[in-house]
Amino acid sequence: MVKINLPFGRGAMDITVPGERLNGILQSGTHAYSEQKSEEELVKEALIAPVGSQPLSELVRGKRNIVLIASDHTRPVPSRVILPPVLEEIKKGSPKAVLTILIATGFHRPTTRQELIDKFGDGIVNDPAIRFVVHQSDKEEDMVKLGTLPSGGELLINRVAADADLLMSEGFIEPHFFAGFSGGRKSVLPGVSSRRTVLANHCSEFIADANARTGILEGNPVHRDMVWAAGRAKLAFIVNVVLDANKKVIRAFAGHFEKAHQAGCAFADKLFGTDAIMSDIVVTTNGGYPLDQNIYQTVKGMTAAEASCRPGGVIIMCSSCSDGHGGQNFYDLFANEKSENVIMKRILETDRNETVPDQWEAQILCRILMNYHVIMVTQAPREMIEAMHMTYAADFEEALGLADVYLGKKNAGITVIPDGVSVIIRRHGHQNGVQ
């Protein structure tokens, strides 16, 4: 038996897999990456030598209203590490500047004050010189129209961002299951955009595109809209980091929103990429807290398993989902219809401008369910899991037994992906579109 440790919620779970059935363990290079410099040093070095941009201290000169777009509570961005050196650069170039931190919630719920403190620390949250604003995508009165996206949708972003003398953002770069990679331009769209803009960008046509996949930027229609939106919003500077398996900074990239992001994605592409090991059973996770808080987010980890699972196989998803499903529309699409084929047909027939919230996540989950049997090892209620067309298991042992029954054999090969959101699984040496 082979013992494997998997991230789960705020802790971990140990599973044992029969050695003769284990085809392989797929991990990103983050587990073996060694970095001698501290997190703070890496961020400071990136700020000193920005990519395609003047230093931040020069950009802020003469600017009074500076807005920093920051990630919300669902992202493990180490803001406590990033913000102090950023604040030093701002004060160096514009001592009297007023800083607003705009929390990029995208389509997520508003971030609470306690979550802000957990993320930034008491000192920054309680600093009277810093204002915090939490973006709410459904508050149309807070939005400003900046034009029309290449896709045809309206670009409406938070007025706080649009009115900035200088707009910048922090974030992190990891594989993203339909935008290619996170970070960079995503701070604007979907980060601080109107729900109407997000819905148009996340339409079924784009999600179905073969280039809207993990690790692909070139030809990706979702990415194309996002880059245009960031440029139109005048996003002037970014500080993005790449994290290891312990959520520690191992590389930082600062500078021009597109050039610095491309440099970060090129690094991430090499670090996270691994070749698929095809099996009838694939076990994976969503990387633990905060990314495995709900079923909605958990779909991301499933896409890694999808890339390494034989058609008709079983995906065993170990994800806490302590907050439940994560989106009422997302849940209802499955709970109210028994046929995945009917669900997919309805989604694909939905016009771009009629996209409904959480449709994209449902589309990807539906795609997976049409090809694989999904067993969830989770803290979410059994009734919720079953209503969403998946099978509930109390622990891994039960899940493996259910998988064997489903496949009709007890010797099916198994691939384990300990962190499904930290890898780019490539079949047959397929390369992504990072330029």
- Indicate which residues carry an active-site annotation: 108, 176
CA distances from 33 to 104, 145, 270 (A): 29, 43, 12
Measured between alpha carbons, how far is 286 from 166 in angstroms, rounded to an integer? 35
Phi, psi of 256 (to 5 degrees): -55, 135
Structure tokens at 50: 């920005």
Measured between alpha carbons, how far is 1 from 397 in angstroms, rounded to an integer? 13
Contact 20, 414 (CB under 8 A): no
SS (H, E, C) 98-160: EEEEEEECCCCCCCCHHHHHHHHCHHHHCCCCEEEEECCCCCHHHEEEEEECCCCCEEEEEHH
Q: Which of 316, 328, 341, 267 is nearest to 415 (CA)?
A: 316
For 363, half-sphere exposure in the C-beta direction (CA atoms, 13 angstrom radius) is 23
Which ranges in 273-336 belong to alpha helices (H)?
Answer: 295-306, 328-335
Report which secondary-structure segment, H or E, holds 84: helix 79-93
Pairing of strands 279-285, 309-318: parallel
**Is the torsion defined by CA of 242, 103, 361, 210 positive or negative?**
negative
